[in-house]
Amino acid sequence: METCDVLADMSRNVEIKAKVRNLGDIVSKAKKLSNSEGTWIEQDDVFFTVPQGRLKLRTFQDKTAELIFYDRPDCDGPKLSKYEKCTLPDGSQIASVLSHALGVKGRVKKNRQLFMVGQTRVHIDNVEDLGNFMELEVVLSEDQTLDEGQVIAETLMADLGVEKEDLISGAYMDLLQK
């Protein structure tokens, strides 16, 4: 599979995103691979208008938040994503400031079941107004190559029964705006 490339100096992961055909099947496989029931996370992501990449404020049920900038290509299959995160005790004030300063591009609300499989975050997402998706994020160490991350992603993809034709490009925000 081809991988697309982007920035430097940031945290990196190799990720894939795919439409889920059989929710029960993929959750069952993720539980087995992670040897856990997973963790449920409710997320409300507000995307801001920026000249490059994506900037979102992710707010959790307890009102804590993460401001996340990331840049990755919009292509199917494993792709390199570079990102920076800032954790905030309360996201409400920064949301207002960023909304006024940059403008809001859109909002994505989802319920996410997170499974850890080695160094990979396996997300099973129910996205409001879109449906069910699966996302893999292979978090790369400084000394790991993109190729090593791709192999891990492709192996997990196969283990979870994700087909190439189920892969999607872009972000949930892009799908909502179509």
What whole-number percentage of the chain has pLDDT above 70? Answer: 94
Please say whether the beta carbons of 75 and 2 come within 8 A. yes
* Model pTM score: 0.84
**DSSP state at residue 178:** -
Rounded CA-CA distance 143/116 in Å is: 21
User: Locate tokens 């791709």: which residue?
Assistant: 150
Number of H helices, E strands in the chain: 4, 8
Q: How far is CA 75 from the centre of its chain?
A: 14
What is 11-177's CATH superfamily? Hypothetical Protein Pfu-838710-001 (2.40.320.10)
Q: For the chain, what are the domain ranges?
A: 11-177
pLDDT per residue as tens digits for the range 81-131 = 889 999 999 888 899 999 999 999 999 999 999 999 999 999 999 999 999
Select from 89, 129, 130, 132 the least CA-distant residue to 113: 132
Q: Residue 6 has what pLDDT?
A: 38
C-alpha gyration radius of the chain = 16
